[in-house]
Amino acid sequence: MPRNALPRIGTRPAGQGLPMTNYKGDGPVTIKPPKAGFTKAERDQAEEYVAAGNRAIKEGFISPTGRVSTTANTELERQARNEAKKERDRAKNDQHSPDYKGIVAHLPDTGWMNKDTKGVPMEWSDHTRRLNSSIAGQNPTYPVGFKPSEFKMHDDWYTTAAIDES
C-alpha cells in the first residue's frame, strides 16, 4: 500500500515548505520504467512519486536552485541515508504505521530537494529496490541546477504491460 494512502505518517508538518513565487522550471522530469520491466505495484509507486514531486514544486519543497548533487559520500547523501534509517526505525516502533517491506524512499528524491532539508524529504514511501534504483539512476540525466517544471510519467508505463498483467 502506498504510504500516501496513510494519514501522512512520516511527512513534514504543513507550512515547512518555502513557497517560491518566482520559481521557473527548465522542463519536465520524466520518470521512465525500470529497463527490466515493472509490476502494477511499481507503476502505482511511480505515480505516487510523480504526484509527490509535483506537490513539492507547488508547496515550495523543491530546490530553488535546481537539482543538487547527491553522489556517494557527499554530506547530503549521508544525511539522506541516515534519515531513511531513522524513518524505518520510527515505523517499526509505531503501531499505527505498517513496516516498510522494501526501500524507505524519499519523495521526491534528495537530489531534487533543498539542501537545507538535510536529507529529510517532504514524504516517505515504501518502494521496491528495483523502482527506487531506477528512479535514482535517472536523476543524473538532468544536470545539476536543472529546475523541474513538473514531474510526469513516461508513456511506456501505460503502453507496456506490467509483468503481472495478463
| Residue-wise pLDDT tens digits, 2-25 | 444 333 334 444 445 555 667 889
Q: Is the pLDDT of residue 38 over 60?
A: yes
Q: Are 57 and 17 in contact (CB under 8 A)?
A: no
Whether 21 is in a domain gets the answer no
Domains held by the chain: number: 1
| Mean pLDDT of the region 75-102 | 89
Question: Once rounded to an integer, what is the mean pLDDT over residues 40-48?
Answer: 97
With respect to residue 23, please indicate whether it lies within any of the assigned structural domains: no
Q: Does residue 137 lie within any of the structural domains?
A: yes
Q: Is residue 7 part of a domain?
A: no
Residue 85 has pLDDT above 80, yes or no: yes
pLDDT in tens, 105-148: 999 999 998 777 788 888 999 999 999 999 999 999 999 999 99
Q: Is residue 17 part of a domain?
A: no
Distance, CA of 101 to CA of 129 (rounded, Å): 10
What is the average pLDDT value for the chain, to the nearest integer? 85
Average pLDDT estimate for 55-84: 86
Whether residue 18 lies inside any domain: the answer is no
Q: DSSP assignment, residue 141?
A: G
The per-residue pLDDT for 78 is: 87
**If you average pLDDT over residues 91-95, what whole number do you get?**
89
Could you tell me which residues are beta bridge partners of residue 82?
Answer: none
Buried b (16+ CB within 10 A) or exposed e, 3-38: bbebeebbbbeeeebeebeebeeeeebbbbbbeeeb
Range of the domain at 98: 29-159
Query: Is residue 138 in some structural domain?
Result: yes
99: in domain: yes
pTM across the whole model: 0.85
In the predicted model, what is the mean pLDDT of residues 67-77? Answer: 80
Instruction: Give the pLDDT of residue 20.
Output: 63
**What pLDDT, on the 0 to 100 scale, is given for residue 5?**
37
Residue 75 has pLDDT above 90, yes or no: no
Q: Which pLDDT belongs to residue 73?
A: 59
